[in-house]
Structure 1
């Protein structure tokens, strides 16, 4: 039976967030309806009540409600107000897997990725893997786009080249040389981000039934990607200085993996980096058991690379013989550019370029030209310097506040955007409660191939500026310690 009770939906607007107040209200209410936090038939607050609660004008609420009605989220009943509209048939017709989360279903990898893509204000997503928009340089990207748009139009209308825009690959050669990785342009293949790079490599080197090693914890998205290929994913315990090499050797002898995916520098989600001693041991084990190593270095530019904070990369030690290097710019420039790349041997690069051509023809040369311009004109270096400074300040502040709440920061690292914290309570339950308050957390279970309950979670230090998340954590965790 439909409820007709009036409700309060909590704070949905922020003066510090991007977008107009109307857009924020529409986005937040729609998300709450999609996530079943506002049930079908529930009566929305009156225009006056909503305006008073959110401290906005009644005209703003009227326009927001009208947009929600137009998009099928609300229905207006003359003399009675606005009510949440039944959307099940519409959503199921479009895509039954989207938007609907049964109350009995626990968060999983797809759930987290879908919610990360909902375009919530960054300060409402402390579990996300992106920097807030205000930390990035939209004008830098816009200038690149304007410059590319002034090129001869014929250059923008054809397919890109199979391996990627050559001047961009030449620029990447210089970038890799700074990391002591020798890679000619012929050894580099551009991709639609690191996600596509991982998919191409996995398809090239594995078949259904093969084993892929990953760190545990590790970047969650690849678990689902590899599962669709029919491969077996096994986690290698990650320590403060890299993987547990004893366990790596034992499991390699037992399972004979084809690939080992690893973050050498600023590991996601712990922000730890590989020590030189561990790097040599990993390479030795890979040679002994004949598996390839895929080094995901997407957070490369968030590490200062100084002697004080030395960074050891397997690709620099191996020079792309047994190690395949992946990089990209979604974390530091714009996620929407989707510009990544693979550096590997010439023979492997040719095979991967062919595989890329068969799956997507070519990558987006316009985006590659934009990133090339930003890199080649020297603006990028200053941009990432500013990001690192902001991260350093935020990391220190967030670490201190987290520990005051009784949580344990597993590894106090000198760089990176993540903290891996022990909350002392089941973070799946904590995540569900946070979502009811409009915040997105990243529970630790999602970062393990086993997906078992965990007290850990990943915090993005750049996305912890909202006072509401601190109040929520304090209230929920006060009884856990």
Structure 2
């Protein structure tokens, strides 16, 4: 029977509200609701969370579930139709369009980094699901979802960085002579920046004159130049295991044999390094000495000396990737041993950059090497790109030379230090195991006690991006570990998801 109240319309039972298709929309993000809907629905279709032929919610149902107007839903659906994600069927509604299958050669390239995995490693269900590989993670990182929903990201949230200083530097550079804005930069890099980097490296006890420094498009290009110059197809490159995932596929594509060296809390497993060096005779060993990615641990002095001894004995070059240098509080606060400081660039090539602390979009990195190697790398850079962006290098120089950067980095240290302890304790409360709690940096290498590929699949269904441990190993075998960024773990939705998934 329908209930009634005096002088009122009959009260009908409330219709159950449909579950939301998307994560909560934001009216304060600066992105229109239409664009948020289009981006989110397109991503779910790309990730096979919405299958070809699936019927979309009706306009009225979508509007009611997500608290938007019917006009917003119509405009969003029309935009998705125009982009080829949906099709409109008169009288029936909107449906996910059948997507053209990926060309076999393109599919092979996209999955090259996952070719060494055991099994097919497919995620998100079905034989046609995209493999969870390095390309998958990078593509999803660039989806521009809010940083609170990307606990697997490798960068700090944008609101932690000093955009105002970059904007001021750009304005100052724009007032310089027009010729400086339209000409090629110097092949070796903007000289005042290289002179500034000489002073920066001297503070780390690394002696490198400006002619020993080559600027690059971030550390990614620096690694590419070093590998192409000092290896040939069939040569072996050692990497830490776990380590930064992007280089595995890049080195393999060059024809290199990529071999992982087990990474411990204080550096590589020296016994394994010695044994594998004798077996493989590597050309390069790429290593994070300070704030290793993904564990934020650092190399001990004893291990550093042993690595250099083995490099000399077996004739390989140590490539020291120190991209997280400025996230370390300094040796006066915590021990930090850099191989380049001990070796003075004899057996070591040192890499650095500013994408993690200044701006990822500037893409300014650098290589410090012996004079002969720096000359070779400059020639290699000219063959690849002629020069790097003089404008970006001038921006970095201005910020460094005016003393603004040091204060900015100090603020980052303080924010990370304020979060780290309580975030790790909360990780442990929801069921994660932290074998080595880092004292600095933004990453924690956590043991979830289960296959983190599966965990990542479940997270994607809730618009959360994790970084499973399988991606951080050259073998890409299933792993119980995952990398978490403490600066991007402050959204309650992240904790609710982990607590629900990890409860025993």
TM more than 0.5: yes
The farther-off stretch of 246-255 and 341-350 is 246-255
Going from structure 1 to structure 2, the CA distance change for 1:292 and 1:98 (only over 3 Å counts) comes to: closer
Counterpart-to-counterpart distance in 2, 1:169 and 1:55: 53
Counterpart residue number, 1:37: 49
- Where does the alignment leave 5 or more consecutive residues of structure 2 unmatched? 1-17, 112-121
Matched, 1:305 2:330: yes
Q: CA deviation at 1:449?
A: 1.1
SS at match of 1:45: coil
Matched, 1:449 2:449: no
Matched, 1:350 2:362: no
Contact 1:18–1:121 (8 Å) recurs in 2? no
Counterpart residue number, 2:283: 258
Counterpart-to-counterpart distance in 2, 1:324 and 1:407: 36
Matched, 1:407 2:419: no
Counterpart residue number, 1:3: none
The farther-off stretch of 289-298 and 386-395 is 386-395
Contact 2:48–2:129 (8 Å) recurs in 1? no
SS at match of 1:110: helix
Q: CA deviation at 1:105?
A: 4.7
Counterpart residue number, 1:23: 35
Contact 1:7–1:44 (8 Å) recurs in 2? no
Contact 1:126–1:459 (8 Å) recurs in 2? yes
Counterpart-to-counterpart distance in 1, 2:396 and 2:421: 31
Contact 1:12–1:24 (8 Å) recurs in 2? no
Tell me the alpha carbon deviations over residues 263-303 of structure 1, each in whole angstroms, 9 at most, x when there is no partner.
Answer: 00000000000111111111111111111100000001111
Matched, 1:386 2:411: yes
Counterpart residue number, 1:157: 182
Counterpart-to-counterpart distance in 1, 2:293 and 2:237: 18
Structure with max Cα Rg: 2
Going from structure 1 to structure 2, the CA distance change for 1:53 and 1:212 (only over 3 Å counts) comes to: same
Contact 1:187–1:344 (8 Å) recurs in 2? yes
Matched, 1:107 2:132: yes
Going from structure 1 to structure 2, the CA distance change for 1:7 and 1:43 (only over 3 Å counts) comes to: farther
SS at match of 2:380: helix
Matched, 1:223 2:252: no
Tell me the alpha carbon deviations over residues 425-445 of structure 1, each in whole angstroms, 9 at most, x when there is no partner.
Answer: 011111111112211111111
SS at match of 1:342: strand
Counterpart-to-counterpart distance in 1, 2:45 and 2:60: 21
Going from structure 1 to structure 2, the CA distance change for 1:421 and 1:153 (only over 3 Å counts) comes to: same
Q: Normalising by structure 2, report the TM-score.
A: 0.89
Matches within 5 A, 1:17-416: 17=29, 19-88=31-100, 103-416=128-441
Contact 1:418–1:459 (8 Å) recurs in 2? yes
SS at match of 1:234: strand
Q: Normalising by structure 1, report the TM-score.
A: 0.93
Contact 2:156–2:487 (8 Å) recurs in 1? yes
Q: CA deviation at 1:15?
A: 5.0
Contact 1:12–1:28 (8 Å) recurs in 2? no
SS at match of 1:75: strand
- Where does the alignment leave 5 or more consecutive residues of structure 1 unmatched? 1-5
SS at match of 2:94: strand
The farther-off stretch of 108-117 and 336-345 is 108-117
Contact 1:135–1:387 (8 Å) recurs in 2? yes
Counterpart-to-counterpart distance in 2, 1:295 and 1:355: 19
Tell me the alpha carbon deviations over residues 303-352 of structure 1, each in whole angstroms, 9 at most, x when there is no partner.
Answer: 11042312110011111111100001111122121111000011100100
Going from structure 1 to structure 2, the CA distance change for 1:115 and 1:124 (only over 3 Å counts) comes to: same
Q: CA deviation at 1:80?
A: 3.7
The farther-off stretch of 182-191 and 394-403 is 394-403
Matched, 1:463 2:488: yes
Counterpart residue number, 2:22: 10
Contact 2:20–2:66 (8 Å) recurs in 1? no
Contact 2:225–2:381 (8 Å) recurs in 1? yes
Counterpart-to-counterpart distance in 1, 2:148 and 2:28: 9
Counterpart-to-counterpart distance in 2, 1:46 and 1:93: 36
Going from structure 1 to structure 2, the CA distance change for 1:153 and 1:75 (only over 3 Å counts) comes to: same
SS at match of 1:159: coil
Counterpart residue number, 2:448: 423
Tell me the alpha carbon deviations over residues 171-190 of structure 1, each in whole angstroms, 9 at most, x when there is no partner.
Answer: 11111111111111100001
Going from structure 1 to structure 2, the CA distance change for 1:446 and 1:275 (only over 3 Å counts) comes to: same
Counterpart-to-counterpart distance in 2, 1:329 and 1:81: 49
SS at match of 1:409: coil
Going from structure 1 to structure 2, the CA distance change for 1:33 and 1:94 (only over 3 Å counts) comes to: farther
Contact 2:348–2:369 (8 Å) recurs in 1? yes
The farther-off stretch of 57-66 and 414-423 is 57-66
SS at match of 1:155: helix
Contact 2:19–2:65 (8 Å) recurs in 1? no
Q: CA deviation at 1:98?
A: 7.1
Contact 1:44–1:81 (8 Å) recurs in 2? yes
Alpha-carbon RMSD: 2.2
